[in-house]
Structure 1
């Protein structure tokens, strides 16, 4: 397991949301970190799709015109 450096930060949150999370025993730091990880993954996926849209379009046009490569070997 690799050691990850942890850093402190400050956030401003809706008071009712913060109170409810504390009441439910939710670890605020872990929840915030999990939300950031999800947001990072989603944004990376969006950027990748945007950056590769041309290649994806080209591939789809190729398949449309020529069929799937090696399709004769498919078992389904």
Structure 2
């Protein structure tokens, strides 16, 4: 199931290894490292979910693309342009 990547629930402490210079620069710039990590992780989870969905539905997508290549869009005659 392709659920939205919203992670608003409770947080838990997690150990993450990050480049020390990068963390220090982030702190100097006032970046919330935990929030930035969560944002990046959420983006990666979303990307992985999308890739999994595309793979799970690859056959149907290819079938539909083949149909439209052969027959055109089903409602093309109603297009205004």
The verdict on a shared fold, with TM-score over 0.5 as the criterion, is: yes
Spell out structure 1 runs of 4+ moving beyond 4 A.
none
- Coordinate RMSD, CA, aligned: 1.1
Residues 30-49 of structure 1: pairs in structure 2 closer than 5 A: 30-49=35-54
Q: Aligned pairs, how many?
A: 74
1:63 to 64, 68, 77: 68
Does 2:11 align with 1:6? yes
Unaligned runs of 5+ in 1: none
More helix by share: 1
Scaled by the length of structure 2, the TM-score of the pair is 0.85
Scaled by the length of structure 1, the TM-score of the pair is 0.90
SS in structure 1 opposite 2:70?
Answer: helix
Unaligned runs of 5+ in 2: 1-7
Query: What is the distance in 1 between the residues matched to 2:71 and 2:44?
Result: 38
Greater relative contact order (Cα 8 A, min sep 6): structure 1 or 2? 2
